[in-house]
């Protein structure tokens, strides 16, 4: 009996593997078609300064408008894009469009609203990455000071010497650098001081359960004090409830992002969004947010 159950398990496992593989192959073919077929869009989510409720940034979040499956979030396709070598092409598409939209955002906001672009650790180590970004910035003539690259905290673990060199190259271009999802691995704090980093963004897994979870609160307080000692800006993500906002206010956190203020919105809604901000008619649950 046990033997039979074992065999069934193996068969089930193989079926799952096959399904996974087929899914991956489908996605790869579809991804290639999607890049040339304009199926991608960038959504933007506001980043808020709690001192004055001003919007200080917009995070660019990739979406795939899949013809059959609807709007897909990155976890459904980014790793396939990485494994199949399509990420550099997709990454360049993101740079190009986020830089174009960044320029438009400067014009619409008439202020220093930064655009945050996510870069995976793997993407960072791609040999052409820095040159590509530099070329795109020059071509579009966007001010690099308005760009903020969010790089996953694995960058602190994998090959920090090479990472330091690449990040140094990026700082030379003039962009800002944020360590994203900070605190999700917690294995690499000692490398933080070795990299040219402007800010850390605290992972949602840690911000989700405060106030209330004293263990998470203890870890957060430690991370906040490390960031402060290293003179790094802190931004907290995943704020959904006012109690969370109050907790971080009380811990002197200034920059926040989350559904409490705004969901990510499609790029074509940005003009309307900035109009609403200018007229002061935008009134989300998180209170009136406005332009600097």
> DSSP for 154-171?
GGGTS-HHHHHHHHHHHH
Closer to ligand C2E by Cβ: residue 61 or 226: 61
Residue 216 to residue 173: CA distance in whole angstroms: 37
Q: What is the CA radius of gyration of the chain?
A: 21
Closest to ligand C2E by CB, 30 vs 180, is 180
Q: Which is nearer to ligand C2E, 74 or 284 (CB)?
A: 74
Please, are residues 53 and 289 in contact by the beta-carbon 8 Å criterion?
yes
Please report how close the Cβ of residue 72 comes to Mg ion at its closest, in angstroms: 17
Q: Which stretch binds ligand C2E (CB under 6 A): 59-67, 133-141, 156-164, 266-274?
A: 59-67
Site for Mg ion in 136-155 (CB under 5 A): 150
Q: Is 237 in the site for ligand C2E (CB under 6 A)?
A: yes
Is 180 a residue that touches Mg ion (CB under 5 A)?
yes
Task: Give the distance, in angstroms, between the CA of residue 206 and the centroid of all CA atoms in the same chain.
Answer: 16
Instruction: Say how far apart CA 245 and CA 106 lie, in whole Å.
Output: 27
Residue 48 in 3-state DSSP? strand
Query: Of 2-10, 136-144, 258-266, 282-290, which segment contacts ligand C2E by CB under 6 A?
Result: 258-266
Q: Is 264 in the site for ligand C2E (CB under 6 A)?
A: yes
Q: Is the bond leading into 49 cis (omega within 30 degrees of zero)?
A: no
Smallest separation (angstroms) from Mg ion to the CB of 58: 11
Q: Which of 78, 115, 137, 166 binds ligand C2E (CB under 6 A)?
A: 78
Min dist. Cβ of residue 120 to Mg ion (A): 10
| DSSP string across 195-236 | S--SEEEE-HHHHTTTTT-HHHHHHHHHHHHHHHHTT-EEEE
DSSP H helices, 37-159, are 78-83, 87-109, 121-124, 129-140
Interface of this chain with ligand C2E, residues 93 to 152, rule: CB under 6 A: 94, 118-120, 123, 150
The listed partner (ligand C2E, Mg ion, none) that binds 73, CB under 5 to 8 Å by sort, is ligand C2E
Binding to ligand C2E in span 7-36, by CB under 6 A = none
- Contact residues toward ligand C2E (CB under 6 A) are 45, 60-62, 73-75, 78, 94, 118-120, 123, 150, 180-181, 204, 237-240, 257-259, 264
């Amino acid at each position: 009996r046990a033997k039979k159950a074992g065999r069934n398990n193996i068969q089930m496992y193989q079926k799952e593997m096959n399904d996974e593989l087929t899914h991956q192959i489908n996605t790869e073919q579809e991804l290639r078609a999607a890049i040339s077929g304009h199926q991608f869009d960038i959504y933007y989510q506001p980043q808020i300064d709690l001192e004055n409720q001003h919007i200080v940034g917009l995070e660019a979040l990739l979406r795939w408008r899949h013809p059959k499956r609807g709007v897909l979030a990155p976890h459904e396709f980014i790793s396939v894009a990485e494994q199949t070598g399509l990420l550099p092409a997709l990454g360049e598409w993101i740079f190009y469009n986020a830089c174009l939209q960044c320029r438009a955002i400067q014009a619409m906001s008439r202020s220093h609203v930064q655009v945050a672009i996510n870069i995976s650790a793997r993407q960072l180590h791609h040999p052409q990455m820095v040159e590509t970004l530099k070329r795109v910035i020059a071509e579009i003539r966007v001010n690099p000071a308005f760009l903020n690259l969010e790089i996953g905290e694995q960058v602190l673990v994998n090959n920090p010497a090479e990472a330091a060199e690449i990040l140094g190259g990026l700082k030379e271009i003039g962009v800002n650098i944020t360590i994203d999802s900070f605190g999700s691995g917690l294995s690499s704090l000692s490398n933080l001081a070795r990299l040219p980093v402007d800010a850390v963004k605290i992972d949602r897994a840690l911000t989700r359960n405060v106030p209330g979870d004293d263990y998470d609160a203890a870890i957060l307080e430690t991370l906040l004090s490390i960031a402060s000692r290293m003179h790094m800006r802190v931004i907290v993500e995943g704020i959904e409830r006012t109690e969370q906002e109050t907790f971080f206010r009380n811990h002197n956190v200034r920059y926040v992002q989350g559904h409490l203020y705004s969901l990510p919105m499609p790029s074509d809604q940005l003009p309307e969004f900035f109009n609403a901000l200018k007229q002061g008619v935008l009134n989300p649950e998180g209170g009136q947010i406005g332009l600097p």
